[in-house]
């Protein structure tokens, strides 16, 4: 086991953009990992596990500990005359595993020859190419459970493999570390997976079935013709996934435009897969540059580092590609690459209470104010971090908020509770469900209410076009969204227990009246807290008022606090802002808060 500090990771990623980690550690085996897991470097910090860094984009210094496996070894045993199981250490190079199988007459992985990375990443990313995916062949995965510090084995079905996805990128991220992967393969030297057109053409040119060696060499030749040489030019291979859209959207929105885009079957029921490369190419983006980042001429799914790119150059170029394709074709591209980004950007979509400000029919000074900061839609925020957009609450004003912001995609929704001013916009998320169902995280009571409130979304045969929702009922325990740790905080809204949420050094608490002492611990050491404050002096049975909010802020001591969920009785923005103590601000709609 080795531990280093202030580690330069630039040469440990295939993008070769400047990258650093506060702490870096390598381990040789399970005992080494167990020992490492008990060190303060591990227990007191967020961790990130990397392989060869082939699917990572660092946008700033990772403040926690970066781990790397050096667990090696490849072994095999036969089940019968046709089947062989191959076990490989997570630290083995994927290309070495593929070559070992081919040299020993073991078929299955040859279509994935030449993919950069290590064996552990094959399970995490469900890597794939030329008509094959690692998840098609993985039999089981040996993991280290971070919480119990014990070895566990997940069968293939438990890994939830999907297109460039697995449980290790979602619920198990931060909980399980891959140590070894077992593959169920076939004894034989004849290549059988020839469905991908270039491979079928290759077989036709030979006039016979190619061997697994010949197929692997052809796959590598094809890869080399499209992808930049990693020894010369940094990249992460394909930066974007090929978009998978629901069939209804494709038939109703894409085909009528007369777009002659290649269409492929999807492994997901009710969806089709489209060519991301075609979309980028026909959007005129081949060769487009921002800073030192460039769309690769031979394969537009690739973003290349021409030598001077920063992580933010690459991210800016990716954002430009996504926006351009969306405008031209109405299709949202999603990165395959994982953004390593500790920065959190919070946009206040709405800062008002259940009736908003101005209130209908009211002629008070606040409701008549012409100051934009006194115009308050129902409370909600958008959190952007780690390459994701997460919506906290879907207010009845969501459509207006999304249009005002130009929001075209969200990755998940966190719901605080079931009151209408926090869930009334659920039906408006349907434009965000074109490619993927929207994951919604909340407590049992809110989930139960939602199944009744928008029951048409959960029927066995829903009407085409309704929002596609995946409801996750969460206990008040930390959980993961695509590797991002989210901590629910149970607060009392009068007698109703509801959730606030903490993400990194940011927390959002709305509709609170009291917070149990054990939950207050989750709100310590915050950079930014957004906290509800209904009005100035008149007490309310379910909401904090200004003196109570200020008292709680003094107890929790966040570095910055923003007051939200205000009604017109709180007063004019300029007047309240003038009397707030240092570090406390009166939030307003459209405000952007950055936590570095």
Active site residue 164: yes
519 annotated active-site: no
CA distances for 576 relative to 546, 581, 585, angstroms? 10, 10, 9
Q: Which helix (H) or strand (E) is 316 found in, with range?
A: helix 311-329
In angstroms, the CA 178 to CA 190 distance is 31
Catalytic residue among 92, 118, 133, 164: 164
336 tagged catalytic: yes
13: Cβ–Cβ under 8 A, 6 or more apart, which residues?
Answer: 19, 50, 53, 54, 56, 58, 234
Question: Any residues with CB less than 8 A from the CB of 578 and at least 6 apart, and which?
Answer: none
What's the per-residue H, E or C state across 106-175? EECCHHHCCCCCEHHHHHHHCCEECCEEHHHCEEEEEEEECCCCEEEEEEHHHHCCECCECHHHCCCCCC
Distance in angstroms (rounded) separating the CA atoms of residues 381 and 392? 5
> What secondary structure, in 3-state letters, does 83-115 show?
EEEEEEECCCEHHHHHHHHHHCCEECCHHHCCC
Q: Give the residue from 437, 435, 453 showing the smallest Cα distance to 445.
A: 453
CB 554 within 8 A of CB 312: no
Find out whether 510 and 393 touch, Cβ atoms under 8 Å. Answer: yes
Please report where in the chains the tokens 């084995």 appear, as a residue: 153
The closest of 89, 131, 82 to 107, measured between CA atoms, is 82
Q: Which position among 211, 238, 351, 395 bears the catalytic label?
A: 238
> How far is CA 30 from its chain centroid?
28
Structure tokens at 109: 């992985």
Alpha carbon distance 443, 423 (integer Å): 13
**206-212 contacts, C-beta under 8 A, 24 or more apart:** 212/101, 212/102, 212/107, 212/110, 212/188
The rounded distance, in Å, linking the Cα atoms of 33 and 38 is 9
In this structure, what is the dihedral angle of CA atoms 453, 491, 147, 89, given to the nearest 10 degrees? 50
Q: Are 71 and 29 in contact (CB under 8 A)?
A: yes
Residue 504 zone, left/alpha/beta (φ > 0; ψ -120 to 50; rest): left
List the catalytic residue out of 336, 384, 519, 591: 336
Q: Which residues contact 479 (CB under 8 A, 6 or more apart)?
A: 171, 441, 472, 485, 486, 488
Cα–Cα distance, 407 to 439 (Å, whole number): 17
Contacts of 40 (CB under 8 A, 6+ apart): none
Beta carbons within 10 angstroms of residue 352's beta carbon = 27
Catalytic residue list: 164, 238, 336
């Amino acid at each position: 086991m080795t531990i280093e500090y202030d580690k330069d990771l630039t040469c440990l990623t295939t993008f070769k953009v400047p990258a650093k980690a506060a702490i870096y550690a390598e381990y040789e085996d399970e005992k080494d990992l167990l020992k490492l897991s008990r060190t303060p470097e591990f227990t007191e910090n967020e961790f990130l596990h990397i392989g060869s860094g082939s699917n990572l984009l660092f946008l700033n210094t990772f403040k926690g500990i970066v781990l790397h496996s050096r667990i090696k070894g490849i072994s095999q045993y036969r089940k019968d005359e046709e089947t062989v199981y191959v076990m490989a250490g997570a630290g083995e190079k994927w290309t070495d595993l593929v070559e070992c199988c081919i040299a020993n007459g073991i078929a299955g992985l040859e279509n994935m020859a030449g993919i950069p990375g290590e064996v552990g990443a094959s399970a995490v990313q469900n890597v794939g190419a030329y008509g094959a995916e690692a998840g098609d062949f993985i039999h089981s995965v040996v993991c280290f459970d971070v919480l119990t510090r014990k070895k566990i084995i997940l069968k293939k079905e438990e890994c939830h493999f999907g297109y460039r996805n697995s449980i290790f990128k979602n619920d198990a991220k931060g909980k399980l570390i891959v140590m070894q992967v077992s593959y169920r393969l076939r004894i034989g030297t004849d290549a059988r997976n020839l469905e991908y057109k270039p491979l079928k053409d290759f077989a036709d040119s030979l006039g016979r079935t190619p061997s697994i060696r010949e197929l692997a060499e052809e796959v590598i030749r094809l890869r080399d013709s499209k992808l930049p040489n990693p020894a010369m030019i940094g990249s992460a291979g394909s930066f974007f996934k090929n978009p998978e859209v629901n069939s209804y959207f494709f038939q109703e929105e894409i085909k009528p435009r007369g777009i002659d885009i290649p269409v492929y079957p999807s492994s997901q029921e009710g969806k089709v897969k489209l060519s991301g490369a075609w979309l980028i190419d026909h959007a005129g983006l081949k060769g487009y540059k921002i800073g030192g980042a460039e769309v690769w001429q031979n394969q537009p799914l690739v973003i290349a580092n021409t030598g001077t790119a920063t992580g933010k150059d690459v991210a800016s170029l990716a954002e430009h590609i996504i926006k351009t394709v969306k405008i031209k074709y109405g299709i949202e591209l999603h990165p395959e690459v994982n953004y390593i980004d500790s920065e959190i950007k919070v946009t206040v979509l709405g800062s008002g209470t259940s009736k908003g400000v101005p209130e209908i029919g009211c002629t008070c000074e606040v409701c008549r104010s012409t100051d934009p900061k006194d115009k308050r839609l129902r409370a909600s925020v958008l959190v952007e971090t780690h390459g994701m957009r997460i919506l906290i609450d879907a207010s009845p004003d969501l459509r207006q908020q999304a249009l005002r912001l130009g929001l075209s995609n969200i990755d998940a929704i966190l719901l605080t509770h079931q009151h209408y001013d926090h869930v009334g916009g659920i039906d408006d998320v349907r434009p965000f469900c074109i490619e993927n169902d929207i994951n919604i995280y909340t407590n049992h009571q809110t989930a139960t209410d939602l199944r009744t409130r928008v029951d048409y979304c959960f029927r066995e045969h829903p009407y085409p076009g309704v929002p596609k929702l995946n409801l996750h009922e969460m206990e008040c325990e930390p959980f993961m969204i695509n590797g991002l740790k989210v901590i629910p905080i149970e607060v009392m809204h009068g007698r109703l227990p509801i959730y606030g949420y903490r993400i990194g050094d940011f927390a959002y608490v709305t509709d609170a009246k009291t917070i149990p002492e054990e939950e207050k611990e989750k709100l310590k050491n915050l950079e930014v807290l957004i906290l509800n404050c209904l009005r100035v002096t008149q007490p309310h049975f379910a909401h904090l008022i200004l003196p109570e909010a200020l008292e709680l802020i003094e107890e929790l001591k966040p570095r910055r606090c923003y007051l939200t969920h205000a009604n017109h009785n709180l007063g004019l923005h300029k007047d309240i802002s003038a009397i707030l103590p240092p570090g406390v601000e009166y939030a307003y709609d459209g405000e952007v808060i950055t936590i570095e």
